[in-house]
Copies of this chain bind each other. A is one copy, B any other.
Amino acid sequence: MCSSAGESDPRSRKLNKSSVKVNGTHSTALPHAATKLETFSTSAVAFVEDVAGERSRQNIPTEKQNADPFRQGLIVEGGVGYRQTVVIRSYEVGPDKTATLETILNLLQETALNHVWMSGLLGDGFGATHGMIRNNLIWVVTRMHVQVDQYPIWGEVLEIDTWVGASGKNGMRRDWLIQSRLTGVVFARATSTWVMMNKQTRRLSKMPEEVRDEISPWFIERQAIKEDVPEKIIKLDDDAKYVDSDLKPKRSDLDMNHHVNNVKYVRWMLETIPVQFPENYELSSIILEYRRECGSSDTVQSICEPDEGSIPEDDNISIIKDFSLAPEILDGCGLSGTFDKWPTKYTHLLQIKGQQKYEEIVRGRTTWRKKLFNTY
């Protein structure tokens, strides 16, 4: 972008470079989580772009690092996996004092990028390998699956492991495992699938041999979530049970690529379910299938259909029998609400109104379990 003030200001040079990079965007669905994994023969090149002093402010290494003391990251698993210690912060938890799903998604993105940072070859952070750049390719995420066994609480110390592997002939898998540092108990597992897209034509591409040669040394076979046949998500039509229309992205919803961030997608999806539901249920699994990116000027529709067959057996009757609670007590402690029967599986779709028809942004599938206590 161009200057809107004279060049005399000392900040001019810095910001100028910054804005050129940001606006010359490598746009993609969830591009911020794209992965840059390279062999290390050309690391000296990395500082060529450092006109702005940005790389030194970001403390970006030009060689592979085995430890990142500031982010508390380590290279593990024989030099190819990444592990980061993270403490759940006060503002990352919801009213029930447990980390929100948004927090977990944010931490997945963050650790993926920090893994790449450790490679010593992080460019602007969305980057492709040198081989991909030569072929004008970028990474796009096509699928994400997160399973939450238990939500960590405020102040809890986590260890987040992430690694990459092959996905078919032309794709890459990135997995994560989130555990308690104290006990090793698993909080969450996640897996994602990435493919390459031509930056100009916006069409998917095969993985060129030279790119495979660059990234395959990093591949690990281990899978965080075993999926013999990954669940496919059906496309909803407009007569779904819950519909929220006219959702508009705000500036604070945009990521560095000027697209709506992944967390906002999920928030739109989940907020389409009536508000009473998450008072008594917590999300145990989410699958996302990405179709296209959503820009700042798009208007979004979120639709959601419960699986009516997924209503669980009611297990409250025993409490009544055992304790003979008076109705006013049930009301007073919010228990009466839990007698509502809710399905525990939902299908979701976010779409934008195109010229001719709606265009899909992302399909979703969520599974929920009853909270043991109403902590809303």
**Which of B5, B102, B318, B338 sits near A252, CB closer than 8 Å?**
B102
Q: Is the CB of B58 within 8 A of A70?
A: no
Q: Is the CB of A4 within 8 A of B110?
A: no
Stretch at the interface among A134-142, A154-162, A169-177: A154-162
Does A60 reach chain B (CB closer than 8 Å)?
A: yes
Does A280 reach chain B (CB closer than 8 Å)?
A: yes
> Size class of A's contact patch?
35 or more
With contacts A87-B71, A258-B95, A375-B18 taken as known, whether A155 is within 8 angstroms of B3 at the C-beta atoms is no
**Which of B21, B153, B329, B370 sits near A54, CB closer than 8 Å?**
B153
* Nearest-Cβ distance from residue A146 to partner chain B, whole angstroms: 15
Q: Is the CB of A95 within 8 A of B251?
A: yes
Q: Is the CB of B154 within 8 A of A22?
A: no
Q: Is the CB of A182 within 8 A of B100?
A: no
**Which of B155, B181, B256 sits near A95, CB closer than 8 Å?**
B256
Q: List chain B residues, Cβ under 8 A from A125.
A: 90, 154-155
Most buried by B among A23, A57, A153: A57
Copies in the complex: 2
Q: Is the CB of B372 within 8 A of A9?
A: yes
Within 8 A of B (CB), among A325-367: 325, 329-330, 333-335, 338
Q: List chain B residues, Cβ under 8 A from A58.
A: 153-156
With contacts A154-B125, A318-B6 taken as known, whether A110 is within 8 angstroms of B95 at the C-beta atoms is no
| A243 to B111 CA separation, bound complex (whole angstroms) | 40
* Cβ proximity bits A287-308 to B, threshold 8 Å, 1 near / 0 not: 0000000000000000000000
